[in-house]
C-alpha cells in the first residue's frame, strides 16, 4: 500500500485539471502541463482534490503508483507557484550575463559559453554571479540547472566553478612543502 500514492492531491484555486482517458492536463496562471498515465493507473477527481488509483496489484503498478501521484502533484505546484533554482558562479573573472534569452557565461575558457534555455524555462541573472532558473516543469528546471553546472563544476581546492546557492563544497588541503 503506497502512502504517497493514496494521498489525495489538493487542487488550489485557480488551477484546473482535465482528465481524458489516460491523459491528465493541469493548467493554471503560470502555464500548463500534461501527463499520460500508464495502463495500470487511472486518475479520479473528487471535490477539490485528485486521486491516483491502481488498476492492478502487481509489482509494476505498485512501483508506479506513488511516482505518478508525485508527478501530478508537482504539475499542480508548478502551474500555481512555479519552481526555481539558483546557481552561483564563484571564481576570479567568472561572471554571467544575458544576451536576449541566451545566457552567456565567462568561466575562464578562451571563449564565452552560450546556453540557450529549453522551451518553458526562464533564466535571469542577479548581479554578475547568480543565475536564477524558473519554470513550470520541475524536471526541466532541475535539468537546466544541472546542464549549466556541468560547464564548470566546483573544484575542491579553491571552490571555483558553478554551484547551487547554499551548496557546501567539501575542500581539500593543497600540497605543502615538508
Asked if pLDDT for residue 172 goes beyond 70, the answer is yes
Average pLDDT, integer, range 3-10:
89
- CATH superfamily label, 3-80: Ribosomal protein L6 (3.90.930.12)
pLDDT per position as a tens digit, 140-166: 999 999 999 999 999 999 889 999 999
pLDDT per position as a tens digit, 13-36: 999 999 998 899 999 999 999 999
CA angle (121, 125, 128) in 5-degree steps = 150
CA angle (46, 51, 52) in 5-degree steps = 145
Asked if pLDDT for residue 1 goes beyond 70, the answer is no
Fold match, 3-80 / 83-164: yes
Task: Map out the domains of the chain as residue ranges.
Answer: 3-80, 83-164
Contact 134, 124 (CB under 8 A): yes
Q: How far is CA 114 from the centre of its chain?
A: 21
CATH of 83-164, one of 3.90.930.12, 1.10.287.110, 3.40.250.10, 2.40.50.140: 3.90.930.12
**Nearest in space to 48 (alpha carbons), one of 75, 9, 21:** 9
Amino acid at each position: 500500500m503506497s502512502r504517497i500514492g493514496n494521498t489525495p492531491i489538493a487542487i488550489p484555486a485557480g488551477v484546473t485539471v482535465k482528465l481524458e482517458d489516460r491523459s491528465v492536463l493541469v493548467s493554471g496562471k503560470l502555464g500548463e502541463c500534461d501527463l499520460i498515465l500508464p495502463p495500470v493507473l487511472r486518475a479520479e477527481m473528487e471535490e477539490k482534490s485528485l486521486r491516483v488509483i491502481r488498476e492492478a496489484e502487481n509489482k509494476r503498478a505498485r512501483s508506479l503508483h506513488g511516482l505518478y501521484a508525485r508527478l501530478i502533484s508537482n504539475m499542480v505546484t508548478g502551474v500555481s507557484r512555479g519552481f526555481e533554482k539558483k546557481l552561483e558562479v564563484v571564481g576570479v573573472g567568472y561572471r554571467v550575463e544575458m544576451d536576449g534569452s541566451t545566457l552567456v557565461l565567462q568561466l575562464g575558457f578562451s571563449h564565452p559559453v552560450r546556453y540557450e534555455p529549453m522551451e518553458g524555462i526562464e533564466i535571469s541573472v542577479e548581479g554578475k554571479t547568480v543565475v536564477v532558473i524558473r519554470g513550470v516543469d520541475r524536471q526541466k528546471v532541475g535539468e537546466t540547472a544541472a546542464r549549466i553546472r556541468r560547464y564548470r563544476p566546483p573544484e575542491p581546492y579553491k571552490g571555483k566553478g558553478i554551484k547551487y546557492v547554499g551548496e557546501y563544497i567539501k575542500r581539500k588541503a593543497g600540497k605543502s612543502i615538508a
